Amino acid sequence: MRRRPAVLFVCLGNICRSPLAEAALRSAASRAGLDIAVDSAGTGNWHVGNPPDRRAQATALRHGIDISRLRARQVESADYTRFSHIFALDHDNLRTLRMRAPPNATAEVALLLDWVAGRVGMSVADPYHGGSADFEKTWQDVSAAAEALVARFSSRA
């Protein structure tokens, strides 16, 4: 039997993009009846223990999802065996993830938008220095990715 998919989304701070990706995938998987584990983390440690950025929280709420209880954490070595898939939100974080992979890593480490038709090779832009329109764009990107992931994981069952 195939292992239940376990997906970790990784950005820099774990307060903007990856918590939104986590929320979007949880929601899409639940709608599709897909049994999947979902989490998020950051390559950086500046925001460890903090809730998502207020603008990310507001964006998720606009789409009916409360992410206020999430707390930022940093990627750790055990993540590379605990998760089947680790998705970087951008190229910088993909590079960092690959550099930090322990020798016993089993997770597939990939760029998130490489799994989305028409978006291969693209990064989810960092909205941290932007405004609410940038956060909405992040939501659209991670929602499209969540739908693509659910379709791919559902067809493997």
Query: Which stretch, 10-18, 23-31, 102-110, 143-151, contacts ligand 4NP (CB under 6 A)?
Result: 10-18
> At its nearest, how many Å lie between ligand 4NP and the CB of residue 35?
27
H-helix or E-strand spanning residue 40: strand 37-42
Is there binding between residue 55 and ligand 4NP (CB under 6 A)?
no
Q: How far apart are CA 68 and CA 65, in angstroms?
A: 9
**CB nearer to ligand 4NP: pick between 112 and 153:** 112
**CB nearer to ligand 4NP: pick between 28 and 89:** 89
Is there binding between residue 15 and ligand 4NP (CB under 6 A)?
yes
> At its nearest, how many Å lie between ligand 4NP and the CB of residue 42?
6
Phi, psi of 87 (to 5 degrees): -105, 120
Q: Rule CB under 6 A: choose which of 48, 92, 100, 128 binds ligand 4NP.
A: 128
Burial label, 3 (beta-carbon count in 10 A; 0-12, 13-18, 19+): exposed
148 touches 113 (CB < 8 A): no
